[in-house]
Amino acid sequence: MLLRLGSGEASFVDFRETAPLGASRDMYLDSLGNVIKGMSTLGAMAAGVPGTVAGLYKAHELHGSLPWRELVEPAISLARDGFPVSERLASSLRELQEYKGRFPGLLQFMKSDGTPLAPGDTLRQPILARTLERIALDGPDAFYRGAIAESIVEEMRLGGGIVSKRDLAGYEARIREPLRGSYRGYEIVSAPPPSSGGAVLIEILNILEGYDLRGMGFMSDQTIHYMVEAERRAYADRAQFLGDPDFTDNRLPRLISKEYAADLRKSITPRATPSSELSAGPGTSREKRETTHYGVVDREGAAVAVTYTLNDSFGSRVVVRGAGFLLNNEMDDFAIKPGHPNLYGLVGSEANAIEPGKRMLSSMAPTMALRDGKLFLVLGTPGGATIITTIAQILIDMLDFGMSLEAAVSAPRFHHQWLPDHISAENGAFGAYLRRSLVEKGHRIEDRTAPIGDAQAIEVRGSAACGMSDPRGDGQPGGVEPAEPGPR
Ligand code: DON
């Protein structure tokens, strides 16, 4: 959670999961050193020690103005009284059918006969409502030490996982300095490690600042080429250098410096640089998307940008019995073996190897942009590896191409993450002519049917805050009617 108070002071609440104390570097490898398929993604062994309850409480404790109980109440009502299932949710609930045999806890998201809920049906979660009531009453202690902790540990015993009482009691949300950079006169404030989000975003923008993107034109072959080359280099650095700052020297000052970006620009030519020339390593892509992002600006000008996640769709698929919530499969965000691609095709090395108590690297990038010290934009998205490039594109579309918030959030997206060495493009993002000239420059293009990201953004103009939810998702701007927006 990136947060900025009305006074302008910014801070960052890191409530990333941690590896359990019983975790070890090769825990997902067999005796021959091969990755055991599905072990870091399905079942109790995939779960990191959850951080959400501690993180949200920490933000409340430090900066909140309403009583904790009142803050949890809307979630309790949604769980107890239910809400109508949307088309998109229905389709993701249908995908759960194949897992219900192995993970019977998932039946709580289905009709009583085990068939999938249809659009318009009501999804009620009475057990989760009771869990939330406990959290409302006793705060994080209920979750990390009390009855809920007992349920988690019991679920671990039944499912062969290793999250222990000690892990839960020892979990702490951390306050960190947000990462800062700049782009064309705007200050960019974003997520520090253990997310790679801010660092990779700032590195991409620093490289691109040296090119006249506006002169090259929105979505022109040249603009896309330079954006892709910047993305390729920044993601290669992510794979090599980034990990939990409590365990790894991230070399951040250099990675996000303008000088380093200038050095990298020297290696960029009018032709695609094969990713294999930047550093060697295998990579494949398999994109999934299940993460939540929201932003809020209040009347005092305080703002938060929050991204949080179970990682994959429905996480490890394990529902904690008697507590009604899903466990994450965030352990897969570690480099479970050097060079082995995670769910998002991302590879990593030593810096992001598993160690007890360590936080796995993330791509989450809750971000704010400021102009002359004044809040201008609050921004974020889900999308795994594509989170960072989605944020970069929205910023570039607005700051280089002068697009409106609506147009920038709606614009077609493309993504390059070093490995696999291809541009992943949304359906219809590239026309035939553009495609040909990118291929002539040496790029490979992979079309994807699933959309990239689900961005949520707020633009502050004068005393008005205007929200925009990605047309790709189910989100909606909420809150009070904005005042007449001032000029940009
Ligand atoms: O922390 C990360 O980078 C991933 N666990 C985020 C996963 C994600 O965004 C999935 N979403 N759609």
Q: What is the pLDDT of residues 262-315, one digit of tens each?
A: 999 999 999 999 998 886 433 333 333 568 999 999 988 899 999 999 999 999
Query: 287 in ligand 1 pocket by Cβ < 6 Å?
Result: no
Number of domains in the chain: 1
Residue 132 lies inside a defined structural domain of this protein: no
Whether residue 233 is predicted with pLDDT greater than 50 in this model: the reply is yes
H/E segment holding residue 229? helix 221-241
Cα–Cα dist 417/407, whole Å: 24
- Count of beta carbons in the 10 Å neighbourhood of residue 165: 14
Whether residue 116 is predicted with pLDDT greater than 80 in this model: the reply is yes
**What's the confidence (pLDDT) of residue 370?**
97
**What's the confidence (pLDDT) of residue 286?**
35
Which whole number is the average pLDDT over 367-390? 97
Which whole number is the average pLDDT over 479-488? 71
Identify which of 328, 363, 390 to mutate to test ligand 1's pocket (most ligand atoms within 8 A of the CB): 363
Give me the domain span that covers residue 383.
Answer: 177-286+363-473
Kindly give the number of the ligand 1 atom that is closest to the alpha carbon of 333: 5
pTM of the model: 0.86
Give residue 330's Cα distance to chain centre.
Answer: 11
Residue 407 lies inside a defined structural domain of this protein: yes
Residue identifier of the C-alpha nearest atom 6 of ligand 1:
384
pLDDT band at 449; cut points 50, 70, 90: confident
Whether residue 237 is predicted with pLDDT greater than 50 in this model: the reply is yes
**What's the confidence (pLDDT) of residue 485?**
72
Which whole number is the average pLDDT over 424-440? 95
Contacts of 104 (CB under 8 A, 6+ apart): none
Distance in Å, CA 484 to ligand 1 centroid: 35
Closest CA to 486 of 375, 386, 326: 375
pLDDT band at 464; cut points 50, 70, 90: confident
Residue 196 lies inside a defined structural domain of this protein: yes
Percent of the chain with pLDDT over 70: 97
Cα–Cα dist 2/187, whole Å: 14
Distance in Å, CA 285 to ligand 1 centroid: 14
Residue 422 lies inside a defined structural domain of this protein: yes
Distance in Å, CA 382 to ligand 1 centroid: 6
Q: What is the CA radius of gyration of the chain?
A: 22
Percent of the chain with pLDDT over 90: 90
Query: 363 in ligand 1 pocket by Cβ < 6 Å?
Result: yes
**What's the confidence (pLDDT) of residue 481?**
67
Instruction: From the candidates 52, 131, 248, 291, give the one annotated as an active-site residue.
Output: 291
Which whole number is the average pLDDT over 3-20? 96
pLDDT band at 174; cut points 50, 70, 90: very high
Closest CA to 202 of 226, 184, 218: 184
Distance in Å, CA 333 to ligand 1 centroid: 9
The model's pLDDT over 25-58, given as tens digits with 9 standing for 90+, comes to 999 999 999 999 999 999 999 999 999 999 999 9
Which whole number is the average pLDDT over 212-227? 97
Whether residue 261 is predicted with pLDDT greater than 50 in this model: the reply is yes
Distances (CA, A) of 241 to 16, 238, 388: 19, 6, 16
β-pair partners for 471: none
**What's the confidence (pLDDT) of residue 411?**
97
Which whole number is the average pLDDT over 414-436? 95
Identify which of 387, 390, 391 to mutate to test ligand 1's pocket (most ligand atoms within 8 A of the CB): 387
Peptide bond into 420 cis (omega under 30): yes
Query: 393 in ligand 1 pocket by Cβ < 6 Å?
Result: no
Residue 417 lies inside a defined structural domain of this protein: yes
Task: Supply the CATH number for residue 263's domain.
Answer: 3.60.20.40
- What's at 266, amino acid-wise? K
Distance in Å, CA 288 to ligand 1 centroid: 8
Query: 40 in ligand 1 pocket by Cβ < 6 Å?
Result: no
Annotated active-site residue 291? The verdict is: yes
Kindly give the number of the ligand 1 atom that is closest to the alpha carbon of 453: 12
